[in-house]
């Protein structure tokens, strides 16, 4: 009986691990979700810098850190070159993989340089981030 309970809880444990770490998403779906999350987090900083929402140093800093994690996962998630008809990704990504990875690193670098101490600092440093989104999209995303 006890053995049965233990093995049941072990299998539930493994089931919950696989559902969180793989989340079932691969290829285009995973890419699309990643980019939507990046947009969501970025829009918090953008709206704060335009005073559409109130400046909050701790929210700004946690958002910046979330964005850094998302940016770091970009090359991992984009490795899968699944290209369904609704994807906006260009095959050039996988033909110029090192350049794509370096554009992703540019986003991380720009995020490292974002200063969330004050509204003025945020305003002064956020522009560089937006530029890196545009630079990658221009080359690797359909318009
Ligand atoms: C290293 C390259 C790269 C960087 C940097 C990048 N993107 Fe993207 N993004 C892409 C590609 C490629 C696609 C198209 C993915 C697809 O459709 O398969 C995309 C798609 C998107 C989408 C559409 C997602 C969907 O399917 O609805 C949004 C929104 C987006 N990006 C926002 C951003 C924002 C905001 C930033 C900067 C903070 C950013 N991206 C930085 C490459 C990049």
Give the residue-averaged pLDDT of 70-92. 96
In this structure, the residue with its CA closest to atom 25 of ligand 1 is 32
For the chain, give every domain's residue range: 26-140
pLDDT digits (tens, 9 = 90+) for 5-51: 555 554 544 444 433 444 568 899 999 999 999 999 999 999 999 99
Which architecture does CATH list for 26-140? Up-down Bundle (1.20)
pTM: 0.87
Ligand 1 centre distance from Cα of residue 120 (Å)? 27
pLDDT computed for residue 120 by the predictor: 98
Please identify which residue in the block is written with the tokens 């998630």.
77
pLDDT computed for residue 21 by the predictor: 43
- Please work out whether the CB of residue 33 comes within 6 Å of at least one atom of ligand 1: no
DSSP assignment of 15-67: HHHHHHHTTT--HHHHHHHHHHHHHHHHHHHHHHHTTSS---HHHHHHHHHHH
In this structure, the residue with its CA closest to atom 40 of ligand 1 is 133
pLDDT digits (tens, 9 = 90+) for 99-116: 999 999 999 999 999 999
pLDDT computed for residue 13 by the predictor: 47
* Gyration radius of the chain's alpha carbons: 19
């Amino acid at each position: 009986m006890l053995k049965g309970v233990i093995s049941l809880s072990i299998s539930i444990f493994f089931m919950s691990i696989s559902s969180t770490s793989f989340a079932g998403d691969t290829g285009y779906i995973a890419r699309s979700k990643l980019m939507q999350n990046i947009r969501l987090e970025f829009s918090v900083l953008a709206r704060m810098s335009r005073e559409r929402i109130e400046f909050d140093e701790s929210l700004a800093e946690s958002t910046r850190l979330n964005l850094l994690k998302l940016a770091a996962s970009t090359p991992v998630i984009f490795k899968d070159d699944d290209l369904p008809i609704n994807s906006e990704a260009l095959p050039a990504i996988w033909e110029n993989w090192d350049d794509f990875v370096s554009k992703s690193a540019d986003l991380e670098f720009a995020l490292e340089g974002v200063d969330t101490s004050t509204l003025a600092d945020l305003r002064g440093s956020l522009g560089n981030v937006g530029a890196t989104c545009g630079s990658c999209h221009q080359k690797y995303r359909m318009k």
